Amino acid sequence: MKKVAVGILGATGAVGQRFVQLLTDHPWFEVTHLYASEKSAGRSYEQAVNWKVSAEIPAVMRRLIVNLCDPDLQNSPRVVFSALDSSVAGDIEERFAKRGFVVISNSSNHRMDADVPLLIPEVNPDHLDLLKLQKKKSGTSGCIITNPNCTTVGLAMVLKPLHDAFGVTKVIVTSMQALSGAGYPGVSSLDAIDNVVPYIKNEEEKIETEPLKLLGRVCPDGIINALFVIDADCNRVGVRDGHMESVTIEFEKKPSVNEVIQALRDFRALPQELGLPSAPNYPIVYREEADRPQPVLDRDIGRGMSVVVGRVRKSAIFDIKLTLLVHNTIRGAAGAAILNAELMKVKGLL
């Protein structure tokens, strides 16, 4: 099978580096173009990037010349992943889509647009239907699809089988989020060592709204959001990778602890059925030990694509409490977008 040529917008940033890493030797995609800001354009990737995700830049990427984020560049691949910062992603992604590109974005700008799919292949693969609406509206063959915020991904994947089975009505979540979520240099070491910062700008809003779209229903005119309510509190802790979430959930039906654990363990979805290359065998892994999940031990389960859950127990106020862990730069960012692209490939949308 000939690989699909792809580009990476914002290839030098922290999430861009994860795209580069995860797309090297990908069985279906081949990175032919890297894009970044003026500061990097014209230089080799090796010269432009401050590489931080592993010891070495993948050899095949070193010599690639970084381009400006310009959709009119000749010979560009028609599929681009976007790791752009939200301060610039909105415009650039639109320009690429208008010129006929498929933009698979990790940025927050268009996530809540009525005609843009906010996609987790295990949760709402049918939301790809929105692309018809989007293309009709724009009159081009280009489009934008997005993956959720890193903290949202973990929460929505856990809520999916539980909502289907028991009907979620209320969710209170406190996150303890990793430093890599803020990019590089991101959080100052003086804010991280021996400290917790109880605030992440614009984060709680995303966690309170994105899952409602993700668990919503596709209609001819767009998405009808799920109707439960989420209350989020976000904290930055001194962890390199892996967002922890302490979650308390109220359900319509009143499931037992065991029923909840069973529903999480039994959860399989389309990416597992289709055997998508980045899909983990188990979208959710449940750990029985009293003190798990832990970032340092569990974040790489399923090559960082599984959400790891532990401590499912009765709540005295709602119904169930649990703790979850999601690898924020893999399942919560670059890996999420790549899984979206893999689903689109299978669906003939690339």
Shorter beta-carbon distance to a copy of itself: residue 27 or 198: 198
User: In this structure, how many other beta carbons lie within 10 angstroms of the beta carbon of residue 346?
Assistant: 17
Alpha helices by DSSP H, listed for 99-149, are 130-138
For a copy of itself, the binding residue among 58, 77, 167, 238 (CB under 8 A) is 238
CA–CA distance from 97 to each of 85, 86, 113, 127 (Å)? 17, 16, 14, 18
Shorter beta-carbon distance to a copy of itself: residue 121 or 242: 242
Contacts of 2 (CB under 8 A, 6+ apart): none
Q: Which residues are catalytic?
A: 150, 243
Distance, CA of 246 to CA of 235 (rounded, Å): 11
- Output DSSP code: residue 129: G
- 73 in contact with a copy of itself (CB under 8 A): no
**Cβ-contact 53, 18 below 8 angstroms:** yes
Place of tokens 């560009």: 76
For a copy of itself, the binding residue among 156, 179, 226, 326 (CB under 8 A) is 179
- 113 in contact with a copy of itself (CB under 8 A): no
Shorter beta-carbon distance to a copy of itself: residue 180 or 278: 180
- 174 in contact with a copy of itself (CB under 8 A): yes
Q: Site for a copy of itself (CB under 8 A): how many residues?
A: 59
Q: How many Cα atoms sit within 13 Å of 260 on the Cβ side?
A: 27
- 244 in contact with a copy of itself (CB under 8 A): yes
Shorter beta-carbon distance to a copy of itself: residue 224 or 296: 296
- 191 in contact with a copy of itself (CB under 8 A): yes
How many whole angstroms from its chain centre is CA 297?
21
Residues that bind a copy of itself (CB under 8 A): 52, 54-56, 170, 172, 174, 176, 179-180, 184-199, 201, 208, 229-231, 233, 235, 237-240, 244, 246, 248, 290-298, 300-301, 310-311, 315-318, 321, 323
